[in-house]
Amino acid sequence: MTVDTLPTPDATIAIITRNRKDELRRALRSSLEQEGTIEILVLDDGSTDGTEAMVHDEFPQVRVVRFDDDADVAARRNDAAELARGEVIISIDDDAVFTSPTIVADTLRDLDHPRLAAVAIPFIDVGVRPEVQQAAPDPDGQWVTTIFRATAYAIRRDVYAEIGGYTPEIQQFGEEWDLSLKLLEAGYLIRLGRSDVIHHHTSTKRSYRRMDVYQRRNEWLICWMYFPLPWALLYPVVYSVKGVREGVRTGRLRNMLEGIWAGAKGVLRAPGIRRPMTRTSFRIDQQARARLRAGTALRLEEAEGLLRPLGPPPKPPAGGWPAPADRLHAPMRQARTQLTFALGRPVRCEVCGEVLFRGIPVVWRGRLKLFGAESARVRVDWDKMNRMTFRHVDLDRCGRPG
């Protein structure tokens, strides 16, 4: 039986891995214990330790797809969304394990509202922090947030495709933030989960230099891409100061400075990557984060009234002015018209003598310019005496004396 002829699963558990076959083995064992019709999909991102062979030999019921180019986590999560057959994608790290067989089923039940595109599944960073993260404050009500950890989350595949998935250039250590802001701007929220926890056993095969550099770089890139002004300029500075403090505390200052420099260069080299979110979405994000820091969260009904209609935000018309300049354009044109009318001199058609417009003469770069002519169709020429002359474009409708 081919993949295409298999029954549609309730969900797809997608795991991205690279050279962690021992940790992956534990993740797969716990995944196979989940209740329901579950597809398990492993994306091997260029492993050299025999990961693919291990999955084939020990877990024949698991679907494994190997890539040889090591494209990094963000790109591979996009690949997982294209390959998954379930309508909901459950993503866990290769060093994470489900602690009970009902976690996936309970998570699917939490996607019970059109505004809820994802669920942040509760988890514990074993040996790092004893607190449960991403859990709803209490089991009653629909508690939402605007950020999640990719260690443990679920997302509707149709919404994932609608917002375009992860930005591959982010790579890792920030890709969740990128996706979260896309969801929020499209009118979706992330529910804090109510299931049993996932245990995240932080792998010893981890490059702290890579993590530090990517985190600091991505703070610059994401703030510049999504935050409205002036916050797009202020927040990178704030994050940089925090990064320097963290670098001094941990003895990894060089990593932090390298990441900050990479982020600043990325912003300067690619100013066109900006696609700022609305100020309303930005305020919702800030409010949701403040609630989480206070140990609580937003209720769905609180945030829903502030959200834009579901779906991707409408694109501005071609040639239009980006906000907030579009709100200033009309009054600026009106002020220019009034100024031209008050100070300008009448300019007449050299053929028929009719007043074409009122203009203000200005010398710019050694040449005479005339501000005005907003509505009249005129032709401008220089006659033999180097005098600027104006006349109607359509001489047939020019009221010439007969």
Alpha helices by DSSP H, listed for 6-125, are 21-32, 51-58, 73-83, 103-109
Cα 309 → chain centroid: 18
352 — pLDDT class (breaks 50, 70, 90): confident
User: Whole-angstrom Cα distance, residue 349 to residue 362?
Assistant: 20
The pTM is what? 0.73
Q: Where are the domains of the chain?
A: 3-205+277-304, 326-397
Q: Determine the Cα–Cα distance for residues 293 and 289; give it in Å rounded to an integer.
A: 6
Q: What is the DSSP string of 112-141?
A: -STTEEEEE--EEEETT--S-BSB-SSSSS
Pairing of strands 143-145, 189-192: antiparallel
What's the Cα-to-Cα distance from 273 to each of 95, 226, 289, rounded to whole Å?
33, 9, 25
Dihedral of CA atoms 196, 199, 200, 204 in degrees, nearest 10, equals: 180
Tens of pLDDT, residue by residue over 118-148, are 999 999 999 888 899 999 998 888 999 999 9
Reported confidence tier of residue 376, pLDDT bands at 50, 70, 90: very low
Q: For domain 3-205+277-304, give the CATH superfamily.
A: Spore Coat Polysaccharide Biosynthesis Protein SpsA; Chain A (3.90.550.10)
Q: Is the Cβ–Cβ distance between 189 and 145 less than 8 Å?
A: yes
Retrieve residue 275's tokens.
């696609």
| Start-to-end Cα distance in the chain | 90
User: Would the pLDDT of 379 be above 70?
Assistant: no
pLDDT at 375 over 50: no
pLDDT category of residue 45 using cuts at 50, 70 and 90: confident
Find the range with the poorest average confidence among 76-85, 175-184, 341-350, 379-388: 379-388
Q: Are strands 298-299 and 198-201 parallel, antiparallel or unpaired?
A: unpaired
Higher pLDDT, 34 or 370: 34
Burial class of 201 by CB neighbour count within 10 A (0 to 12, 13 to 18, 19+): middle
Q: Buried b vs exposed e over 9-44: b needs ≥16 C-beta within 10 Å?
A: bbbbbbbbbbbbbebbeebbebbeebeeebbbbbbb
Binned at pLDDT 50, 70 and 90, residue 396 comes out as low
pLDDT for 324: 54
Residue with tokens 């033999």: 384
With bands split at pLDDT 50, 70 and 90, how would you rate the model's confidence at 3? low
**Does residue 397 surpass a pLDDT of 60?**
no
Whole-number pLDDT of residue 319: 45
Q: What digits encode the pLDDT tens for the residues 243-259? A: 999 999 999 999 999 99
Tokens of 236: 């990178």
Centroid of chain to Cα 85: 24
Average pLDDT on 193-213 reads 86
């290769």: which residue's tokens?
Answer: 94
Count CB neighbours of 46 within 10 A.
Answer: 15
Query: Cis link prior to 324 (omega < 30° from 0)?
Result: yes
